[in-house]
Amino acid sequence: MADIINTLYSWLWSTPMIVFCIAAGVIFTLMTKFAQVRLIGDMIKQMFRGKSSKSGISSFQALSLALSGRVGTGNIAGVATAIAYGGPGAVFWMWLIAFFGAATAYVESTLGQIYKEKVDGEYRGGPAYYIEKGLNRRWAGMIFGVAGLLAMAVLMPGVQSNAISAGFDNAFSISPWITGIFLAVLLGVIIIGGVKRIANVAQLVVPFMALGYILVALVIIFMNIEAVPGVFKLIFTSAFGADQLFGGILGSAIAWGVKRGIYSNEAGQGTGPHAASAAEVSHPAKQGLVQAFSIYIDTLLVCSATAFMILFTGSYNVYESDQSTLIVNNIGDSVEVGTAYTQMAVDSQLPGFGSPFVAIALFFFAFTTIMAYYYIAESNVVYLFKGRNLKIPMMILKIAMIAATFYGTVRTSTLAWTLGDIGLGFMVWTNLIGLVFLYKPAIQALKDYEEQKKQGLDPEYNSTKLGVKNADFWEDGYKKEEEAV
């Protein structure tokens, strides 16, 4: 079984995957004329303009829901792992994939809006929907639907819950199975309320947790302000193999930076479009721009906060590609790669504060990610069982999700990450292949949005006018819903 898992992992995360992800981001960046730079002001404005309705959530709620999926254990344990196996240079490649990934996030999230549907009074959408409608092939959409359901409900929740249990065990000596029961009960209470409750929890928790985490990182940076030039030099020289110490692992720096960057910000993974599709907006490009900005929040702010805390305090080891030979041994070889690096970093500057703070931050980060995973899995269940009674499939989903979350707390972190990477890999490959064939309506939507803005209008979308087929929700133009009370 272990051989099968490792073989799948090596296939999915081979060099072609890395090249594909970067190439897609570069192409979409050129096609949108660097929209992630040109329209950054619009991204921020649109974040607060969309209002929730009876069928949809607000732009800010959709952003928070997407961020709850993006900002998770990858921002703490994932960044530490990238540094451990790719060296400090991996941080640069995380930044680069985030920059180009913002364009990919715009394309996939705009497509999610264009091809969304109203199902049982709620907006639903995502890669399965736009792959089917854009290609006019139900079977193609079902491939992503199955991959997304399997990854979100079974393979990936364990990564998040495993990190929470490890953090609690390290900080508070709480047994993993106790943490597992607590998470299972809490998750069950929240997911029973559906997307509205998940979005409400996310919009309250996500901004609070991100700002608090970044604030602590800033405190540590200011405490080590004299090290700023040296740390940035280390990141850039290591990223290109110019640093003598890390020159031999340039390939690992790129691979781990890209892999953990994608895992963290999820650009191209196909998760963001689910949240984007649920938003009540008058033009798909509006939410596409908001979701592009979420990549910056995730990687350039939260991931960088972790990286800086670790690098400024020297709380890391770096291993050769075989993951057994130490190149740098700053903290002793008995410290497990992952969350412990970040806990040690904060503790070294704020004694007695680091382990509890990181454990609590990780709980908020990872648990809200599990919430987002449930919503994404639910959307794919709705897609796969379209037109059928959903009561039994939804009940099975809830049980499977809770069980996977509990199991993740008691299994080894290596197995949890490997299974999570396999789930992620299936989704990335399926979604990016779909985007290659379907990007044109998203680029067209951006041009339409900008043209209406130049005319002083509040952009509204009409799929019939633009000749976009199967975008049934928009075929008569934007139909404003009554605002939610």
Q: Does the global pTM surpass 0.85?
A: yes
Longest dimension (CA), the chain: 64
Crossing angle of helices 228-239 and 250-265, in 10° steps, is 110
pLDDT at 147: 87
pLDDT at 322: 58
The C-alpha atoms of residue 451 and residue 455 are separated, in whole angstroms, by 7
Tell me the HSE value of 79 on the side-chain side, using a 13 A CA sphere.
Answer: 31
The C-alpha atoms of residue 305 and residue 207 are separated, in whole angstroms, by 15
Distance of CA 110 to the CA centre of its chain: 16
For residue 102, the surrounding DSSP H or E stretch is helix 89-114
Tokens encoding 292: 């592009």
DSSP notation for 329-382? ESS-TTSPSSHHHHHHHHHHHSTTTHHHHHHHHHHHHHHHHHHHHHHHHHHHHH
pLDDT at 485: 41
pLDDT at 36: 92
Is residue 97 within 8 A of residue 257, CB to CB? The reply is yes
In eight-state DSSP terms, residue 278 is: T
Tokens encoding 78: 């994932």
Q: What are residue 279's DSSP bridge partners?
A: 57
For residue 88, give the 3-state DSSP assignment. Answer: coil
Amino acid at 382: V
The C-alpha atoms of residue 33 and residue 37 are separated, in whole angstroms, by 9
pLDDT at 160: 84
Within 115-248, residue ranges assigned H as helices are: 127-135, 138-150, 157-172, 176-191, 194-223, 228-239
Tokens encoding 255: 């691979």
Q: How far apart are the first and last CA of the chain?
A: 52
**Could you list the mean pLDDT of each consecutive 10-residue stretch along the chain, which spans 485 residues?**
74 78 91 94 84 75 77 80 88 91 94 91 90 92 90 85 84 88 88 68 75 88 88 89 66 81 77 88 93 89 90 86 72 79 88 86 85 89 87 90 88 69 81 92 96 93 93 84 53
Of 368, 367, 378, which Cα lies nearest the Cα of 152? 378
